Every structure is written in structure tokens, then in C-alpha cells.
């Protein structure tokens, strides 16, 4: 049996943990801004023009609307190093932190020339010679002409350096998100029985996280049944089919708190007790997770995780082994042939997962949110294992 998950004790606007920790969001926003400005100075960038949701939230702390689908690139935030100020594309100041004043906002326009003019009016941007961006559109040619910019460069290195190692306040936010995920997992487990559909489990998940004051969920990919026959795919979209007794069901809820995402996954048998073969599969999955966690230490690289996985006889990984976590998914990405040279540092937070399958049995997934510490991996999601 799994132990009861922690009570996250969370509502929007106030956060409390069992040790009494609090997050000073004004300090957190200021610290993130200082890290970005320092990284800009190191990389020799005069300004940033950003459109990625995580990057915009990181530099501004502005509350972003929940959206379905992919958001196209646009110049949603501008950071000017000479002034140290952040400017946002917004027609109102609802959800905008107080340190970003109304004169720091610039309006949306369907006319690209009007938008370029608004950007050019931002103090200090015309004087910028080297500007970093996390995306581009054809209108950047107009912007370059209006500003007289000599060089646009990739802002990725600046943001990666700033976002890679988490502050104590960020880790607290991630710990709360992990606790919300665990509470949702408990609700999904209690509802799991033969005949319930994956979409119904998804609805229970949405209800659980919304009831904790977190109405925007990071993903729909929170549950799927693994077939007893044929190949066992790793699915992301829940189906409207009743699950059958004896199937292995993957439960993988995630949650957001203050924009920070954490999650976990476990695999449960639908009805009845586990068979000998399913117990053996769960053991292989647990061994994979233990090996990956042991490899998550400062100074390690992605190759160490690959080797830990392959020593168990799983062969070359055809699935994701780990990726960074923070304001959503972040670098590095390790697995699927990528990230062998990715270096792990103390203070990084990772989503680590073990996924194994066996024809005639199904698939088994374990996933955990992990903090890399001087002593190795510290698992922030503490729900019981299989």
C-alpha cells in the first residue's frame, strides 16, 4: 500500500508547507531578474526580446492566461540591460507585478509597423547593439531596420544559465507543485476500477487540482492503460474506453504552482492483485529508477544516466530518461539519443522516469521530481512506490 500523500496546504496567493516555509514572491522575481541581467552581461547582450512562455514568466513574473494549443512566437517581453527594466506586451496591468509599471507595458497591434514602433519606443532598446531572442518571425527584419540593430543572437544560453540552478524559493514552489500532484494521484487511485475510462480519470484529476486552487493543469497526459496483447506504446492522450481488469494503468499527474511544474508517475493494476509477471515487470521498472536516481549527482553527465540504464540490460533507451523542470519542461533533455554531454549541477531539478514493457503483461512507468544535491538525488515527490 502507498502511504497517504502530503497535504499541500496550498491556495493561490498563499503557500504553506509542513515546515512552515513561505515564498516571498517579490524577492523571487527580483532574484530571477538579477540572474538574467548578470547572464546578459556575461554573454555581452544589451537586450532580450522573448516569446517563450516560461522565459516571459521567468523575467517578468506576470500571470499568464491558460491557453489550449501552441502559442506562436511574439515579442511578449523585453529586458533592457542598461535600465534593468522588464517590459511586457499587455493592454492591461491585471496580473502584472507592481515593479513593472504601466509605462513599462506596450500594446498589442495587428499592424506590425505599429508594434515595431512600440518596441522602438522602449527606453534603451534603440541603443542596444546585440539583442538576444528565443524565437523569430519575418517581422524581425522590420525591427532590425527600425532599431538599427547590428546583431540578433540566440538568447538560449543566457536563459539556460539563469534558469538551470534553482533558488531555495523556487525549490519550495516545486515542492508545493509536487504535493499537489501527489494529492491528485491519491484521488485517481481511489477512482481506479474496472470499467472507468481514462477520460473519467482525467476529469477526476482536473477536479482534484482545481479544488486545491490550481485551475490550470500543465497537461492532459496523466493516465493510460497498457494493453495485455501486442505492442505497448507510451501514450499521451487519454481514451474514452473503459479499462479492463488485469490491465496495468499508468497514473502520471503533474501540477503547477506559481508557474513551477512538478509531477510523478506510478503504475497500478486494475482490479485484483498483481500477477507474478506483472510483479517482475514492476521490479524491473523500480530497478531502472533506482539506477537513474543513483546517477543524478553533481558532476555527472547524460552519458552516466545512459550507462546506468544500459547496465540493467535495457539496451539503448528509446524513451526519455530525464529532463529539467522549473517553469515547465526545461533543458537538459536526456534520452532518445539526446543529452549525452548534458552536465548535472547541484541545485538542478529534474523529472526522472523509468519505462519498461513486456508483451503479454503491459507497461510500467515510474516518474519522480528530483533535486540534485551535493549528496545525490533528493526525491521531492515522496508518494509510495509500487
**Residue 44 CA, distance from chain mean position:** 28
Nearest by Cα to 64 from 74, 53, 72, 79: 53
- The CATH classification of domain 25-163, taken from the options 3.20.20.70, 1.10.3720.10, 1.10.10.10, 3.40.350.10: 3.40.350.10
- pLDDT value at residue 17: 40
Question: How far apart are the C-alpha atoms of 177 and 380, rounded to whole Å?
Answer: 10
Q: How many residues does the chain have?
A: 386
pTM as predicted: 0.89
Contacts for 41-46: CB closer than 8 Å, 24+ residues apart: 41/81, 42/161, 43/132, 43/157, 43/158, 43/161, 44/130, 45/81, 45/130, 45/131, 45/132, 45/153, 45/155, 45/158, 46/80, 46/81, 46/82, 46/124, 46/127, 46/128, 46/129, 46/130, 46/131
pLDDT < 70 regions, the chain? 1-21, 65-70, 315-318, 384-386
Contacts for 95-102: CB closer than 8 Å, 24+ residues apart: 95/62, 95/63, 95/64, 96/60, 96/62, 96/63, 97/26, 97/29, 97/60, 97/61, 97/62, 99/26, 99/29, 99/30, 100/60, 100/62
- Cα dihedral 261, 267, 272, 276, rounded to 10, equals -160
CATH of region 165-379: 3.90.230.10
Number of Cβ atoms within 10 Å of the Cβ of 4 = 11
Angle at 291 between CA 286 and CA 292, to 5 degrees: 100
- pLDDT value at residue 4: 42
**Grid coordinates of 288:** 531502472
Buried b (16+ CB within 10 A) or exposed e, 309-346: beeeebeebeebbbbbbbbbebbbbbbeeebeebebee
The residue extents of the domains of the chain are 25-163, 165-379
Give the 3-state secondary structure of residue 371.
Answer: strand
Span 251-262, pLDDT tens digits = 999 999 999 999
Question: How far apart are the C-alpha atoms of 32 and 161, rounded to whole Å?
Answer: 11
Span 44-60, pLDDT tens digits = 999 999 999 899 999 99
Contact 75, 49 (CB under 8 A): yes
- pLDDT value at residue 94: 86
Amino acid at each position: 500500500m502507498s502511504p497517504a500523500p502530503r497535504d499541500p496546504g496550498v491556495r493561490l496567493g498563499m503557500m504553506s508547507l509542513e515546515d512552515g516555509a513561505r515564498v516571498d514572491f517579490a524577492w523571487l522575481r527580483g532574484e530571477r531578474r538579477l540572474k538574467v541581467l548578470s547572464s546578459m552581461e556575461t554573454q555581452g547582450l544589451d537586450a532580450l526580446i522573448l516569446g517563450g512562455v516560461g522565459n516571459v514568466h521567468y523575467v517578468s513574473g506576470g500571470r499568464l492566461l491558460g491557453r489550449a494549443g501552441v502559442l506562436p512566437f511574439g515579442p511578449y517581453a523585453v529586458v533592457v540591460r542598461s535600465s534593468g527594466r522588464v517590459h511586457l506586451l499587455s493592454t492591461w496591468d491585471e496580473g502584472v507585478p507592481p515593479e513593472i509599471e504601466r509605462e513599462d507595458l506596450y500594446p498589442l497591434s495587428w499592424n506590425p509597423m505599429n508594434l515595431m514602433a512600440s518596441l522602438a519606443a522602449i527606453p534603451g532598446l534603440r541603443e542596444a547593439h546585440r539583442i538576444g531572442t528565443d524565437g523569430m518571425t519575418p517581422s524581425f527584419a522590420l525591427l532590425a531596420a527600425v532599431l538599427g540593430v547590428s546583431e540578433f543572437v540566440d538568447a538560449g544560453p543566457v536563459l539556460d544559465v539563469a534558469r538551470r540552478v534553482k533558488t531555495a524559493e523556487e525549490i519550495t514552489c516545486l515542492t508545493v507543485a509536487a504535493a499537489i500532484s501527489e494529492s491528485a494521484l491519491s484521488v485517481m487511485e481511489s477512482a481506479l476500477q474496472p470499467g472507468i475510462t481514462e477520460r473519467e480519470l482525467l476529469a477526476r484529476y482536473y477536479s482534484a487540482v482545481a479544488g486545491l486552487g490550481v485551475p490550470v493543469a500543465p497537461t492532459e497526459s496523466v493516465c493510460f492503460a497498457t494493453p495485455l496483447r501486442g505492442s505497448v506504446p507510451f501514450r499521451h492522450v487519454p481514451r474514452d474506453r473503459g479499462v479492463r481488469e488485469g490491465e496495468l494503468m499508468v497514473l502520471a499527474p503533474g501540477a503547477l504552482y506559481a508557474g513551477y511544474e512538478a509531477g510523478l508517475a506510478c503504475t497500478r493494476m486494475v482490479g485484483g492483485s498483481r500477477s507474478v509477471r506483472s510483479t517482475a515487470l514492476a521490479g524491473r521498472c523500480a530497478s531502472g529508477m533506482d539506477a537513474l536516481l543513483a546517477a543524478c549527482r553533481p558532476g555527472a553527465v547524460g552519458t552516466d544516466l545512459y550507462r546506468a540504464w544500459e547496465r540493467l540490460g535495457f539496451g539503448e533507451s528509446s524513451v526519455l530518461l530525464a529532463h529539467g523542470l522549473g517553469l515547465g519542461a526545461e533543458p537538459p533533455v536526456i534520452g532518445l539519443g539526446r543529452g549525452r554531454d548534458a552536465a548535472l549541477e547541484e541545485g538542478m531539478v529534474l523529472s526522472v522516469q523509468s519505462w519498461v514493457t513486456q508483451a503479454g503483461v503491459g507497461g510500467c512507468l515510474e516518474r519522480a521530481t528530483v533535486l540534485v544535491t551535493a549528496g545525490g538525488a533528493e526525491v521531492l515527490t515522496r508518494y509510495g512506490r509500487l
